[in-house]
Structure 1
Amino acid sequence: MIVQERREAFRAVLAGRAVVRPGSVYDALSARIAEDLGFEIGILGGSAASLAILGDPDLVLITLSELAEQVRRITRAGRLPVMVDADHGYGNALNVRRTVQELEAAGAAALTIEDTLLPQHYGEAKPQLISLDEGVGKIEAAIDGRNDRSLVIFGRTGAASITSLDDAIVRARAYEGAGVDALFFTGLRRRDELAAIAAATRLPIMLGTVDGDLDDDAFLAAHRVRIANQGHAPIAAAIAAVHATLKALREGRKPKDLAGLPAAELTRQVTREAEMKARVARWLGGRP
Structure 2
Amino acid sequence: MSNESAQTLRALIAGEEMVVVPGVYDALSATLTEQAGFPAAYVSGAAASVSLLGRPDIGLMTATDVAAHLARLSGATSLPLIADADTGYGNELNVRHTVETYIRAGAAALHVEDQVFPKRCGHLSGKSVIDRDDAVSKVRAAVRARGDDDLVVIGRTDALATHGIDEAVERGRRFADAGADMVFVDAVEDLDQLRRIASAIEVPLVVNVMANSRTPVLSHAEYADLGYRLAIYPIMGLAAASAAVQSALASLRDTGLPPLDAAGPGEIFETVGISKWLRWPDDGPRPPAGGPATAAVSDVAAPREHVGARR
Alignment TM-score, normalising by the size of structure 1: 0.87
Task: State the Cα distance separating 1:23 from its structure 2 match.
Answer: 1.4
On the 8 A contact 1:22/1:39 being kept in 2, the answer is yes
Counterpart of 1:76, as a letter, is G
Alignment-derived partner of residue 17 in structure 1 = 16
* Residue 67 (structure 2) pairs with residue 68 (structure 1): yes
Task: State the Cα distance separating 1:78 from its structure 2 match.
Answer: 1.7
Counterpart of 2:89, as a letter, is Y
Q: What is the rounded CA distance, in whole Å, between the counterparts of 2:48 and 2:107 in structure 1?
A: 14
* Residues 259 and 89 of structure 1: CA distance in aligned 2, closer, same or farther (over 3 Å): farther
* Residue 190 (structure 2) pairs with residue 190 (structure 1): yes
Alignment-derived partner of residue 226 in structure 1 = 229
On the 8 A contact 2:45/2:66 being kept in 1, the answer is no
Task: State the Cα distance separating 1:263 from its structure 2 match.
Answer: 4.8
Alignment-derived partner of residue 270 in structure 1 = 271
On the 8 A contact 1:53/1:66 being kept in 2, the answer is no
Task: State the Cα distance separating 1:201 from its structure 2 match.
Answer: 1.7
Alignment-derived partner of residue 97 in structure 1 = 96
Deviates more, 1:206-215 or 1:154-163: 206-215
Q: What is the rounded CA distance, in whole Å, between the counterparts of 1:214 and 1:193 in structure 2?
A: 14
Task: State the Cα distance separating 1:33 from its structure 2 match.
Answer: 0.4
1:13-162 equivalent positions in 2, closer than 5 A: 13-119=12-118, 126-162=126-162
Task: State the Cα distance separating 1:168 from its structure 2 match.
Answer: 0.8
On the 8 A contact 2:43/2:234 being kept in 1, the answer is no
1:171-250 equivalent positions in 2, closer than 5 A: 171-209=171-209, 215-246=218-249, 248-249=251-252
On the 8 A contact 1:16/1:226 being kept in 2, the answer is no
On the 8 A contact 1:280/1:286 being kept in 2, the answer is no
Report Cα offsets for 1:206-233 as digits up to 9, x if no partner: 0113788672544432443111233412
Counterpart of 1:234, as a letter, is G
Q: What is the rounded CA distance, in whole Å, between the counterparts of 2:70 and 2:14 in structure 1?
A: 24
Task: State the Cα distance separating 1:96 from its structure 2 match.
Answer: 1.0
On the 8 A contact 1:186/1:209 being kept in 2, the answer is no
Report Cα offsets for 1:76-117 as digits up to 9, x if no partner: 112111111111111111111111111110001111101111
Structure (1/2) with the larger helix percentage: 1
Counterpart of 2:277, as a letter, is M
* Residues 15 and 266 of structure 1: CA distance in aligned 2, closer, same or farther (over 3 Å): farther
- What is the percent sequence identity of the aligned residues? 34
* Residues 266 and 20 of structure 1: CA distance in aligned 2, closer, same or farther (over 3 Å): farther
Structure 2 unaligned runs (5+)? Answer: 287-302, 307-311
The CA RMSD over aligned residues, in Å, is: 2.7
Alignment TM-score, normalising by the size of structure 2: 0.81
Work out the number of aligned pairs and report it: 280
Deviates more, 1:264-273 or 1:75-84: 264-273
SS of 1:229's equivalent in the other structure is strand
* Residues 112 and 273 of structure 1: CA distance in aligned 2, closer, same or farther (over 3 Å): same
Task: State the Cα distance separating 1:249 from its structure 2 match.
Answer: 4.6
